[in-house]
Amino acid sequence: MLVLLFAFGVASARDSEKSLQEWIGDPSHGTFQGTIRLSGKTHGDYHRGYRCPSYEAATFAVSIVEKAHLHEKTPKALRATLLRSLAGQSCEPAAAGQYRPLQLGNASQIDNGPEAGEEWTALRVQAPDGAEIGLVYDASIYAIDD
Percent pLDDT > 90 in the chain is: 62
Q: How confident is the model at residue 107 (pLDDT cuts 50, 70, 90)?
A: very high
Q: Maximum Cα–Cα distance for the chain, whole Å?
A: 55
Give pLDDT, residue 7.
40
- Select the more confidently predicted residue: 2 or 31: 31
DSSP assignment of 22-81 = HHHH-GGG-EETTEEEE----BTTB-SEEEESSHHHHHHHHHHHHHHTTT--SHHHHHHH
Average pLDDT, the chain: 87
Give pLDDT, residue 15.
57
pLDDT at 40 exceeding the cut of 60: yes
Mean pLDDT of 77-100: 95
Give pLDDT, residue 70.
85
Nearest to 29 by CA among 138, 145, 146: 138
Give pLDDT, residue 13.
52
pLDDT at 10 exceeding the cut of 60: no
Distance, CA of 15 to CA of 83 (rounded, Å): 31
Q: Which residues contact 131 (CB under 8 A, 6 or more apart)?
A: none
